Each structure stands twice: as structure tokens, then as C-alpha cells.
């Protein structure tokens, strides 16, 4: 569920708890949750003893950077979340906590940041250098939050598949998932079944603007909480109430009143308005 807006909310709320502080200890509650070759999965690789200097984001991925130059790739998957707790918290009493970073210094009281992920689709993957993290991220397309018309056209040009499928492909564009793909296509008045490579220049421009608009709106609203998404301060997001199509199959279109269609496209439940998103090129 966490897509770009939710991950960005996590980044913003988590950063103040991490940056400028030192990792006093890393607890591996579930060692197998940490990815990569065994030699690269040490406590030091997870930034134990390191100072934390940066928390960056690309698409739905977060990167925590240490003063040593080490870096940890973090992905929330479907149900991943970060809990920030007092240092004395008994994390063993909280289910599905896989990794925990104990933090000191920086003028705050000691704290612990726990990665909790019931479904375990999330990722914690250490890298020895920032360059290696960046190489891992090189398979991702450009970040969706700032995508412009020209860059989007370049991403989509070779594609003959449905635009919905292309938007979900993180190698094309990083950060859009099922919720925001449907919301952006609705705003851009494009059928999800249109061929990605056959959109007109005007349509690509509309889509790029729609993607930026829905992502910015969602970030401002704290993200979309469907069931259990919360940011690092424990706050749920309210953007679900603003969804125009996602989760509204069979209900009237907010624009024209026609009942919204729902179908499986690119193996994902897709909702759109058959009138507003007519599917014909203009």
C-alpha cells in the first residue's frame, strides 16, 4: 500500500528521529529479513556505530546513509512501517518487528526505531557504499513526484502495453502504485487501457501533470491510509477520502455521475470512468 506519498511522509517524519544521531546498537529480531550476501548483513553494515547523515528517497525506496559511507536500502512493501519508541521499550512484545536501530545523541533522548512488517514484503538491504545503493536504484525509472512531460514521454515511448501497466512498472517511473495510477489516469482523462507508447504529446503532458498533482495532494493529506498505514509519528493519512476512483468501483463518477467501471488490468484491480476516460485519442 505505501506508494510514493506514503513513503515521502515516512521520510519526512522519520528523518528528524535519525539524522545527526548515532546508532548505538542494531537488533536483528529476524536476521533472515535482511537481504544480501551473508557477509554484507552484519550489524556494522546496518550502520551500528555509525552516525546518520541522510535519509533519501527514490520512488518507493528509502536510503539511509551513514557517516562511514555505508548505506541501507529500505522498502516498506505492502505493510512495512517504522515505529519510533522510547529506548526502554520492549520490542519483543510487539509483533512483526524485524530490525531495530537504537539511537543516541543529537540532543534528543535515547530512542529506538523499529522496522515492523507483518506481511514481510518489505526490504532491508545494506550496501557498503552509497555508490552501490545508487547502482541498486539504477534499475528504477525517474522519480514520479517531479516527472515532467518530456521525461514521461521518454519513459513511455517504446511501450505498447496498457498505460496502467506502464505506470505500475517501477523501471519506467518510480513511485506510482495501484492507487495513484488510477487517480492520475482519471485526472488526465485517459483510459487505463490506452497503449502507453501511443499517447499524443498533449495526453502525455496531461498525464505528467496529473501524476504530480495527485502525488502532491496525497503528500499534503498525509498519504492514503486504507487500513494501517501510519507515518513515523504514528499519524494516519486522510487522502483516502479524496480518492476520485480508487476503491470506488460501481459508485458514481465525481465528475459526470456515470457508474465507475472496475476490471483487472495488469493483474491489478483498476477503476475508471468509462465516460470521462473514454479511451479515444483526441
Partner DNA sequence: CGGTACGCCTGAAGGC
Partner DNA sequence: TGCCTTCAGGCGTACC
CA angle in degrees (0–180, nearest 5) for 14-72-54 = 50
Q: Choose the binding region for DNA from 8-16, 101-109, 155-163, 202-210 (rule: CB under 7 A).
A: 155-163
When the beta carbons of 79 and 191 are compared against DNA, the nearer one is: 79
When the beta carbons of 136 and 216 are compared against DNA, the nearer one is: 136
In angstroms, rounded to a whole number, what is the distance separating the alpha carbons of residues 73 and 132?
Answer: 10
In angstroms, rounded to a whole number, what is the distance separating the alpha carbons of residues 274 and 29?
Answer: 49
157 is catalytic: no
In angstroms, rounded to a whole number, what is the distance separating the alpha carbons of residues 55 and 268?
Answer: 31
Count interface residues toward DNA (CB under 7 A).
34
Q: Nearest distance from residue 37's CB to DNA, in Å?
A: 14
Q: Nearest distance from residue 124's CB to DNA, in Å?
A: 13
Dihedral class, residue 204 (left if φ above 0, else alpha if ψ from -120 to 50, else beta) = alpha
When the beta carbons of 166 and 210 are compared against DNA, the nearer one is: 166
Catalytic, out of 57, 60, 70, 240: 60
**SS3 (DSSP) at 224:** strand
Query: Which of 159, 205, 216, 235: binder of DNA (CB under 7 A)?
Result: 159
Query: Which of 13, 79, 81, 277: binder of DNA (CB under 7 A)?
Result: 79
In angstroms, rounded to a whole number, what is the distance separating the alpha carbons of residues 21 and 72?
Answer: 16
Residues in the chain: 282
248 is catalytic: no
Dihedral class, residue 69 (left if φ above 0, else alpha if ψ from -120 to 50, else beta) = left
Query: Which of 20, 36, 69, 118: binder of DNA (CB under 7 A)?
Result: 118
2 is catalytic: yes
Grid cell in block for residue 130? 552509497
Q: Is 30 in the site for DNA (CB under 7 A)?
A: no
Alpha-helix residue ranges (DSSP H) falling in 27-168: 130-137, 149-156, 163-168
Q: Is 163 in the site for DNA (CB under 7 A)?
A: no
Q: Nearest distance from residue 51's CB to DNA, in Å?
A: 28
Q: Is 3 in the site for DNA (CB under 7 A)?
A: yes
25 is catalytic: no
Q: Give just the sign of the alpha carbon dihedral 207, 212, 217, 222.
A: positive
Q: Is 165 in the site for DNA (CB under 7 A)?
A: yes
Interface residues toward DNA, by CB under 7 A? 1, 3, 59-61, 75, 77-79, 95-96, 118-121, 139, 158-162, 165, 168, 170, 177-179, 196-197, 227, 266-269
Amino acid at each position: 500500500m505505501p506508494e510514493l506519498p506514503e513513503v515521502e511522509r515516512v521520510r519526512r517524519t522519520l528523518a528528524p528521529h535519525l539524522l545527526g544521531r548515532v546508532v548505538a546498537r542494531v537488533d536483528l529480531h529476524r536476521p533472515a529479513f535482511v537481504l544480501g550476501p551473508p557477509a554484507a548483513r552484519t550489524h556494522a553494515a546496518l550502520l551500528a556505530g555509525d552516525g546518520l547523515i541522510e535519509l533519501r528517497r527514490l520512488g518507493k525506496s528509502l536510503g539511509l546513509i551513514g557517516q562511514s559511507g555505508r548505506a541501507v536500502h529500505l522498502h516498506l512493501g505492502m505493510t512495512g512501517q517504522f515505529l519510533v519508541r522510547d529506548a526502554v521499550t520492549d520490542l519483543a512484545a510487539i509483533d512483526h518487528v524485524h530490525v531495530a536501530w537504537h539511537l543516541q545523541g543529537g540532543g534528543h533522548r535515547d530512542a529506538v526505531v523499529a522496522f515492523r512488517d507483518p506481511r514481510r514484503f518489505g526490504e532491508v538491504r545494506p550496501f557498503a557504499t552509497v555508490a552501490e545503493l545508487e547502482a541498486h536504484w539504477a534499475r528504477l525509472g525517474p522519480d514520479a513526484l517531479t516527472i515532467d512531460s518530456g521525461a514521461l514521454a521518454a519513459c513511455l515511448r517504446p511501450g505498447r502495453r496498457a498505460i496502467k501497466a506502464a505506470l505500475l512498472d517501477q523501471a519506467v517511473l518510480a513511485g506510482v502504485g495501484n492507487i495513484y495510477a488510477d487517480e492520475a489516469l482519471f485526472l488526465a482523462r485517459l483510459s487505463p487501457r490506452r497503449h502507453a507508447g501511443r499517447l499524443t504529446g498533449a495526453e502525455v503532458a496531461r498525464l505528467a501533470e496529473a501524476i504530480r498533482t495527485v502525488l502532491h495532494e496525497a503528500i499534503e493529506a498525509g498519504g492514503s491510509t486504507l487500513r494501517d498505514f501510519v507515518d513515523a509519528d504514528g499519524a494516519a493519512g486522510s487522502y483516502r477520502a479524496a480518492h476520485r476512483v480508487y476503491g470506488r468501483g460501481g459508485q458514481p463518477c465525481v465528475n459526470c455521475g456515470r457508474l465507475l467501471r472496475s476490471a483487472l488490468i495488469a493483474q491489478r484491480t483498476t477503476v475508471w470512468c468509462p465516460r470521462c476516460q473514454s479511451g479515444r485519442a483526441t
